[in-house]
Amino acid sequence: MKIRCIAIDDEPLALKQISAYIQKTPFLELSAECHSAVDALNILNTNDIQLMFIDINMPDLNGMDFVKSLTIRPLIVFTTAYSEYAVEGFKVDATDYLLKPISYSNFLKAANKAKKIIDGEKQSEEERVKATPEHLFVKSEYKLIRIALADIKYIESSHEYVVLHMISGAPVKTMVSMKSIEDHLPSDRFMRVHRSFIVNLSKITIVERSRIIFDGKVYIPVGDQYKSAFQKYIDKNFLF
C-alpha cells in the first residue's frame, strides 16, 4: 500500500516540484495539490491522508498555524526557505523539515522517515487488533476485549484513538488507526464512508442528504471520496 500524500505551497513552481518528487517515489501516492492551507483543509476532511508536505510562509493562514489547528494530523514534513522555523516545527512533532531549494535526495530521506514511522505503526496495530469471522479482539485500557461484529453500530476516529460505538453497552476506545480496523472488518458488512467513520451496513436505517442518521441524533457524513461506493450499495439494495 502506498502512503497517501498532499502537497501544500502557494508558490506554483515549488508545489510542482514537491508533487513531482511524490510521484517519482514508488511508495508515495499524490492525493492532491493545494495552493493554500484553506484548500488543504477540505482535502483532509474528506480523504484519509497519511503524509503532508507543507510550506510555512503562506498568505491568509501559514503552514505552522494550520498544523497547530488540526486535531487529527497526518505526518508532517515542513518545506520552507527559512531555517529559523526548524525548532518550532519539531515542537509540533514534524517528521522532518526541508529547506528550499529541496533536492530529491533530501526529499527521499524525509519520505523514508515517514515510511518507517507508518510501517512501525502498522506492525504495532497488528498486535492490538485480531479478528475472527464474527468477532473482533481489541486492546482497550490494558484489557483484551472480544466484540461481536453484529454489535458494532459504527466506528469513529477520535484523535489518536478509534471508538467503536455499540448497539448495547458503552463505546470501546482503542489506540489504532482507522485503516487497521478497516482491514480487519469484512467489506461486505462494513463500509468506510468518511475519513473518520466506518459504518455497519446492516444497522443503517435512514440516509438523508449524503448523511447517515443513527438514533435520530447521530449524523455521519458521507465523504466525497466514498460517495460512489456508498451510492452503489444503496442502488443495489433500493426497491423501486
The stretches in the chain having pLDDT less than 50 are: none
DSSP 3-state helix, strand, coil percentages of the chain (rounded to 5)? 40, 35, 30
Query: Three-class SS string for 66-133?
Result: HHHHCCCCCEEEEEECCHHHHHHHHHCCCCEEEECCCCHHHHHHHHHHHHHHHHHHHHHHHHHEEECC
What is residue 153's predicted lDDT score, i.e. its pLDDT? 95
What is residue 124's predicted lDDT score, i.e. its pLDDT? 56
What is residue 44's predicted lDDT score, i.e. its pLDDT? 87
What is residue 51's predicted lDDT score, i.e. its pLDDT? 95
What is residue 204's predicted lDDT score, i.e. its pLDDT? 93
What is residue 31's predicted lDDT score, i.e. its pLDDT? 94
Statement: 3-126 belongs to CATH 1.20.1540.10: no
pTM passes above 0.75:
no
- For the chain, give every domain's residue range: 3-126, 132-237
- Smallest CA-to-CA distance from 196 within 215, 214, 182, 213 is with 182
What is residue 91's predicted lDDT score, i.e. its pLDDT? 62
What is residue 230's predicted lDDT score, i.e. its pLDDT? 93
2.40.50.1020, 3.30.565.10, 3.90.1300.10, 3.40.640.10: CATH of 132-237: 2.40.50.1020
